[in-house]
Amino acid sequence: MSSCFVSSYLSTKILEFLDERMKLMRTVNLSAELHSPFATATTGTPDWMRFNLTQRF
């Protein structure tokens, strides 16, 4: 086996591994989305609220 073949083989395996990881991540994300059938309101504290809270405290 040439070193070129080994390198190519490993690269392929690494790509396959990464692809599997990506698939897994996509599945996990999809599961999270499917867990709730409802739309979600925007999350996180808006800038105006941070400003106001700072002012008031």
Closest to other proteins by CB, 4 or 46:
46
Q: How many C-alpha atoms does 37 have within 13 Å on its Cβ side?
A: 0
* Positions 4 through 43 that interact with other proteins (CB under 8 A): 36-43
- The site for other proteins, by CB under 8 A, has a size of 17
CA-CA distance, 42 to 46, in Å (whole number)? 9
Tell whether the torsion through CA atoms of 48, 50, 51 and 57 is positive or negative.
Answer: positive
CB 41 → other proteins: shortest distance, Å?
Answer: 4
Contacts with other proteins, residue ranges (CB under 8 A): 36-46, 48-49, 52-53, 56-57
